[in-house]
Chains A and B, each alone.
Chain A
Amino acid sequence: MAKTLYEKVWDSHVVVAAEGEAPIIYVDRHLVHEVTSPQAFSGLKVAGRKLRAPEKTFATMDHNTSTTSASLEALSPMARTQVETLERNCKEFGVRLYDIHHKNQGIVHVMGPELGITLPGTVIVCGDSHTATHGAFGALAFGIGTSEVEHVMATQTLRQLKAKTMKIEVRGHVAPGITAKDIVLAIIGKIGMDGGTGYVVEFCGEAIEALSMEGRMTVCNMAIEMGAKAGMIAPDATTAEYLEGREFAPKGEGWSQAIAAWEQLKTDEGAVFDAAVVLDAKEIAPQLTWGTNPGQVVAIDQLVPNPLDARNATVRSSIEKALEYVDLTAGTLMTDVSINKVFIGSCTNSRIEDLRAAAVHAKGRKVAAGVKAIVVPGSGLVKEQAEAEGLDKIFLEAGFEWRLPGCSMCLAMNDDKLEAGDRCASTSNRNFEGRQGRGSRTHLVSPAMAAAAAVAGHFVDIRKPY
């Protein structure tokens, strides 16, 4: 029978499928960070259980870490306890840990792929919703809660019900200057922030195939922002080229076997999806969110929407609440919206290509008066590469701050947070109320759009001179 990519990966991971029980599926790679793991490790200890496969478990610290100092002294007492608890747990259970002094340390979803931990056809989980990122490689990757983290630690498996399948095809090619972030925001704008709930989404079409691995990661990263269980993209030559030679990628005979296996990892002709969505790539303009969820998004040449145009009362009330929170008036042109903060970073957009795209707009320019802009590379390796290319100097000369790796202002668990009333152009993934700081407003954009907003002091249409 013809199968989708998801069904192939699912079928190869079912360990037990008993009547009346949720199937048990095998987990190939378990990524761990400091915020969602301490209670899971404690649970193991209380029950006297072992960690089943420490060699398949990889830990880093990212959510709480400081981007201004690589010292534990820089952390709040609670954050420090959490980081030290991870260190202690990793030591006790024999888990590999990239701590704040290690060059591989970084945002868990940047670290995994760049070390070749993420592989096509694997099941990857992490106590973090943006685990969807790894689907860019044709892995089945999704975020889990801490009880499930403990379940994976104890059994190297998870109880899961099979999801429905959705195909999202982006036909044709995007216009120059349009990035993966614009593509995924346009998709979320079309299907809504819960349009993918209950589904595993496969992204396909020429515009997706044309993306680099980093672009594909940006797209899959935000699968959760449309409510999807996971996002996946079939592996191809781009995938193999990216992975070859990376630290944990298979080598020698193992590599040849892997390539042969990965060639089978595509949706068969005639396979049936439960739902399908099509977008025309050439219609996609630079995107930015105006409201308080990622589905509240428009193109840069559009206006802040009017609640009276909403399709029902619930949507109307959501738009009204969002407009009040973000302090914008219906009908405002997005290019007239001023910002005073810029954040370039997060597991969505902190990789080397993102920093290069931002640097194009920063080079030879200055951050506008009254704007504070920070650039937070996704990992120690990204930082090293950017510095080798001189990107740090471009940012610093333009007046951006150049920081240490971590999740930083995406969720503002460390000191990098917005103040009430701040308006931020952010390359992150969520514009929820208070996400980046209580009373602050977040507009999600691509790295190029964020850097351009930093120098202009307001949003600009980067397709035109500004």
Chain B
Amino acid sequence: MQPFISHTGLAVIIDSANVDTDQIIPKQFLSKVTRDGFGIHLFHDWRYLDDAGDKPNPDFNLNKPRYKGASILVSQENFGCGSSREHAPWALADFGLKVIIAPSFADIFYGNSINNGLLPVRLTDAEVKQLMAEVEAQQGAEINVDLETLTVTSPSGSVFNFEIAESARHNLLNGLDAIGLTLSHADTIANYEKSIPQWRV
């Protein structure tokens, strides 16, 4: 995994609450056996007017020229709810997004994002509202997200603090392989297994 330290980029807004993973990547794209190539299907039913994905919906923000190249998504509460499909962060990352900012996230999506180096940032309702207003007001508005200082800097220079579990921050900053880390405890796992009662083996 690539380390995540700090990122500055163009922001795009999806001003809806409860954006579920069925919207982020609909089921018809879950039959692939690889992790790549999901970005083209990101938000398919909102982004395209037809099933084949040939006719972009001009009213959907991701299709608007002013948001082309966006790498930070700002949305509303309970982002990523529903299905556990990791195809959702795969699609967001493959599209080119590095950071999702929202007042709250669903638990499974939050963990899946961190495991893919996609940073989920929780800010307050008021801070998200301010970011959205600033991004809308100025074409090309960029946001900075710094994982070392745990700050988000808005286009106008307002600085917001955010929190993330120290363990997740450490893994993201260093781009660590979670499995490799856990396997360094293989002996402890083996000892634990010896202590499991017979009925639970």
Binding site for B on A (CB under 8 A): 15-16, 20-22, 24, 26, 28, 35-36, 38-39, 42, 47, 49, 52, 63-64, 76, 78-79, 81-82, 85, 119, 121-122, 127-129, 131, 142-148, 150-151, 154-157, 159, 161, 163, 193-194, 197-198, 224, 227, 229, 250, 253-255, 257-258, 261, 293, 314-315, 317-318, 321, 411-413, 430, 432-435, 438
**6 A-B interface contacts by CB (under 8 A):** A42-B34, A128-B83, A148-B115, A293-B18, A318-B16, A430-B82
User: Are B108's CB and A261's CB within 8 A?
Assistant: no
User: Are A16's CB and B188's CB within 8 A?
Assistant: yes
The contact of B182 among A155, A412, A433, A435, by CB within 8 Å, is: A155
User: Are A255's CB and B199's CB within 8 A?
Assistant: yes
The contact of A257 among B32, B45, B197, by CB within 8 Å, is: B197
Of chain B, the residue at the smallest CB distance from A25 is B192
Tell me the bound Cα distance from A155 to B166 in angstroms. 22
Residues of A within 8 A of B106 (CB): 194, 197, 227
- Whether, in the assembled complex, B178 has its beta carbon less than 8 Å from a beta carbon of chain A, the answer is yes
User: Are B81's CB and A16's CB within 8 A?
Assistant: no
A131 to chain B, nearest CB (A): 8
Binds A, one of B22-30, B61-69, B135-143: B22-30
13 further A-B contacts with Cβ under 8 Å, apart from A129-B108, A227-B106, A432-B22, are A28-B196, A39-B34, A129-B82, A145-B84, A151-B179, A154-B179, A155-B189, A163-B107, A193-B81, A250-B199, A257-B199, A317-B16, A438-B51
Binding site for A on B (CB under 8 A): 16-18, 20, 22-23, 26-28, 30-35, 45, 51, 76-78, 81-86, 89, 104, 106-108, 111-112, 115-116, 165-168, 170, 178-179, 181-183, 185-186, 188-189, 192-193, 196-200
A359 to chain B, nearest CB (A): 29
Residues of A within 8 A of B178 (CB): 147, 151, 159
A376 to chain B, nearest CB (A): 16
B48 to chain A, nearest CB (A): 10
Q: A24-B182, A144-B108 are in contact. Are A79 and B199 (CB under 8 A)?
A: no
Q: A42-B33, A314-B77 are in contact. Are A433 and B22 (CB under 8 A)?
A: yes
A82 to chain B, nearest CB (A): 5
Residues of A within 8 A of B165 (CB): 22, 161
Residues of A within 8 A of B78 (CB): 193-194, 197, 227
User: Are B170's CB and A20's CB within 8 A?
Assistant: yes
Residues of A within 8 A of B186 (CB): 155
User: Are B192's CB and A15's CB within 8 A?
Assistant: yes
Of chain A, the residue at the smallest CB distance from B30 is A35
User: Are A318's CB and B31's CB within 8 A?
Assistant: no
Tell me the bound Cα distance from A38 to B196 in angstroms. 29
Residues of B within 8 A of A85 (CB): 33
User: Are B108's CB and A434's CB within 8 A?
Assistant: no
A433 to chain B, nearest CB (A): 6
